Amino acid sequence: MDSFENLIALLLRRDGWWTATSFKVDLTKAEKREIGTHSAPRWELDVVAYKGQNNEVLAIECKSFLDSTGVVYRKGAFEPPDRYKLFAREKTREIVLRRLVDQLVATGSCAPRPTIRLGLATGNIAKRTDRAGLQALFEKENWRLLDDDWVRERLKDTAGAGYENDVAIVVAKILEGDRLAR
């Protein structure tokens, strides 16, 4: 969902990150075979973010799930696991993230030897137990969870920022103005 990806990219930029959406990672034929996608096109990451201050790269998968059950994480696993390939498949994650760093460094998009972290941005998590399980997993793996609470807090902060010609900022300002008017 491009709108959710663009929203996450905007909120990260407001936190000092440079962002790119629908970022294509160029895997070699050998790497594609190694992860079982030999005939697939380039791997696509929903959002790639870079913060030069600490030379950190975030590779973020976005799952809005706004009108659905939400992200399901039960008994130590995502459901269904194929929807969360980078989180569920260690070999795939290693290869894609390594190639992402190689590509960013080769193009001068980041400094050499960045710290790389996997992230999940979501607008909805199924249940409180799923949230607790996700938080524990992400802390253990040193991944970044940008959950619905994070999105709401950043949108509230955005409402108080200076005007920009961006749909998310305009909507945040309208909603904040409506809340204050009551």
More confident residue, 167 or 123: 123
pLDDT of residue 180: 54
Is 101:116 a contact under the CB 8 Å cutoff? yes
pLDDT tens for residues 32-53? 889 888 777 789 999 999 999 9
- Cis-peptide into 112, omega within 30 deg: no
pLDDT of residue 179: 56
pLDDT tens for residues 58-113? 999 999 988 888 999 998 899 998 899 999 999 999 999 999 999 999 999 999 99
- In percent, the amount of the chain with pLDDT more than 90 equals 65
Strands annotated E in the chain = 18-25, 43-51, 56-63, 72-74, 77-79, 115-122, 144-146
More confident residue, 131 or 182: 131
More confident residue, 135 or 158: 135
User: Cα(63)–Cα(84) distance, rounded to whole angstroms?
Assistant: 9
Phi, psi of 110 (to 5 degrees): -155, 165
* pTM value surpassing 0.95: no
Fold designation for 2-181: Trna Endonuclease; Chain: A, domain 1 (3.40.1350)
